[in-house]
Structure 1
Amino acid sequence: MATTIHHRSPGVQTAATGLTLFAAVMLFVAGTLDLFRGIMAIAQDDVFVNTPNYVFKFDLTSWGWIQLSLGVVAMIVGLGLFASATWARVVGVGIAALLIIANFLSIPYYPVWSLTLIALYGFVIWALCVVQRKDQNG
């Protein structure tokens, strides 16, 4: 039984580390911004657009708590990515996907920012999925 050990070139290792760092920074920053957006919604700030005929209608305070919770989790996962924790890569993809859905549902309340964060979280998912984990043997 032959085992194959894959060795990566230094350039590939550097790119992988850079993408993980990119995902960590973006997840932490975007999570912080979602936290603040959640606080604004809980306070019922006048920043949000009022859209009475939207299919996915939520109470602004409830929506604020959802955004705040997801933002806090994103920040924690971002910190885990700085430590190169494997759990953070797996949870990072999941929380970024949830945040894409949450931002899609909040498009009528804050349209430009929601679309911006959808694109940002898409890049985070890409960065976390492209990087291959380290081999068990080397």
Structure 2
Amino acid sequence: MTETGRTPAMGAQAAYIMEPQHYGSDDPDDRKSGWISFAGIMMILLGAFQIIEGLVALFRPDYYLVGSRGLVVSLSYTGWGWFHLILGIVVLAAGFGVMAGAAWARVVGVVLALLSAIANLAFIAAYPLWSIVVILVDCAVIWALTSGYPRVRAV
């Protein structure tokens, strides 16, 4: 007679290993939740980058590669520092809002990421590599905040 159940030698662990593993989900709500988490984390990172950029501009203006007159927008590094610092704090707060699931934070996040990308494009002469990294993070934030959501069709 053949037994179809587990034998004492197999134990519970062997039965678990034989079952197929599912690491992802095909549920659209799970994917949307993943993108929201990614966007929130990237916004927190972006806010931290902007705060660092602002603090460097405020406390070490000689750190940058060109004088403030060589920038696209001729503004003192103190002015740029305050702009980046305030933008970073607002982006950081909106990132925590996205993580908490606030709908307003998604819209604010896209607008702030656009503003951050434009500001860093204008600031690119001062520190090109840093500005490019921040612009790439801005693009990742915009993509994560706008992807995975159903499209609205016109009637």
After TM superposition, the score normalised by the length of structure 2 is 0.75
Distance 1:47 1:54, change over 3 A: closer
- Is the contact made by 2:71 and 2:125 (CA closer than 8 Å) also made in structure 1? yes
RMSD between aligned residues: 1.7
46-55 or 63-72, larger mean C-alpha shift:
46-55
* Matching of residues 1-138 of structure 1 within 5 Å: 10-51=26-67, 52-132=69-149
Structure 2's unaligned 5+ residue stretches are 1-24, 151-155
After TM superposition, the score normalised by the length of structure 1 is 0.83
Give distance in 1, aligned partners of 2:130 and 2:70: 20
Structure 1's unaligned 5+ residue stretches are 1-8, 134-138
Q: Please state how far the C-alpha of 1:126 moved relative to its aligned partner.
A: 1.0
Q: Please state how far the C-alpha of 1:10 moved relative to its aligned partner.
A: 4.8
Larger radius of gyration: 2
Q: Please state how far the C-alpha of 1:121 moved relative to its aligned partner.
A: 0.6
Runs of 4 or more consecutive aligned structure 1 residues displaced over 4 Å after TM superposition: none
Give distance in 2, aligned partners of 1:57 and 1:45: 14
State the identity as a percent: 36
User: Relative contact order, CA 8 A, sep 6+: which one is greater?
Assistant: 1
Q: Please state how far the C-alpha of 1:125 moved relative to its aligned partner.
A: 0.5
